[in-house]
Amino acid sequence: MPKKIQQARKKIHAKFSETSREMAEKTTTLILGAISLVAAFAWNEAIKAILDKFIQPGNEFLGKIIYALVITFIFVLISLYLVSVIKKKKQK
């Protein structure tokens, strides 16, 4: 096989491998995003059930405020953790 054909074949193979790797990464990201969304809905319902158990009927406004504060607190903790992970990866 001529050398130019071998070089072209290697380039095509390398590009195909890179594209396959990128597709696998993006697919994984999308699947994890979908699973995270399902988990978020589950936690949403769980937190609402917990608050409904402790908040007296007729006091829904207070329950919604507490719910918003709990969700915000959890979001801030997760955000801080993710930022620290990203910083560590950038330092490497």
Give the model's pLDDT for residue 90: 75
Radius of gyration of the chain (CA): 24
What is the domain range of residue 80?
55-92
The mean pLDDT value for 66-90 works out to 86
For residues 71 and 86, membership in a common domain is answered with yes
Same domain, yes or no, for 1 and 42?
A: yes
CB 67 within 8 A of CB 47: yes
Predicted TM-score of the model (pTM): 0.54
Does one domain contain both 4 and 32? yes
Band (10; pLDDT cuts 50, 70, 90): confident
What is the rounded distance in angstroms from the CA atom of residue 86 to the CA atom of residue 36?
19
Tell whether 80 and 65 lie within a shared domain.
yes
Total count of domains within the chain: 2
What confidence score (pLDDT) does residue 1 get? 64
SS3 59: coil
Indicate if 1 and 44 belong to the same structural domain: yes
38 in the same domain as 73: no
What is residue 1's DSSP assignment?
Answer: -
Q: Is the Cα torsion angle 40, 41, 45, 51 positive or negative in sign?
A: positive
Residue pLDDT, tens place only, 28-65? 889 988 998 999 899 888 888 888 888 777 777 887 88
